[in-house]
Homo-oligomer: A and B are copies of this chain.
Amino acid sequence: MVASNDTPNKGALYLIPTTLGDNEPLEVLPLSVKKIIEETTYFIVENEKTARRFIKKICPKKAQGSLKIETLNKFTDFSLLPSYLDPCLEGENVGIISEAGCPGIADPGADIVAIAHEKGISVIPLVGPSSILLSLMASGFNGQSFAFNGYLPIDNQERAKSIKQLEQLALQKDQTQLFIETPYRNNAMFDSLCKQLQSSTNLCIACDISLANAFIKTAPISYWKKNNPELHKRPCIFIIGK
Whether A148 and B146, one on each chain, are in contact in the complex, defined by CB atoms closer than 8 angstroms, is yes
Which among B106, B110, B129 is the interface contact of A141 at CB below 8 angstroms? Answer: B110
Q: How many residues of A contact B (CB 8 A)?
A: 64
List B contacts of A113 (CB < 8 A): 137-140, 218
A11 contacts partner chain B, Cβ-Cβ < 8 Å: no
Q: Could you tell me the distance in whole angstroms from the C-beta of A146 to the nearest C-beta in chain B? A: 5
List B contacts of A115 (CB < 8 A): 140
A183 contacts partner chain B, Cβ-Cβ < 8 Å: no
**Quick one: CB contact mask for A183-218 with B, threshold 8 Å, 1 for yes?**
000000000000000000000100001101011111
Identical copies in the complex: 2
Spot the interface stretch: A27-35, A37-45, A60-68.
A27-35
Interface centre among A27, A32, A122, A133 (most CB of B within 10 A): A133
A142 contacts partner chain B, Cβ-Cβ < 8 Å: yes
List B contacts of A135 (CB < 8 A): 125
Chain A residues 83 to 133 lying within 8 A of chain B, measured CB to CB, are 102-107, 109-117, 122-125, 127-130, 132-133
11 contacting pairs across A/B (C-beta < 8 A): A1-B210, A4-B216, A27-B31, A28-B30, A102-B137, A104-B138, A109-B137, A110-B141, A113-B139, A114-B140, A125-B135
A binding-site residues for B, Cβ under 8 Å: 1-2, 4, 15, 26-32, 102-107, 109-117, 122-125, 127-130, 132-150, 175, 204, 209-210, 212, 214-219
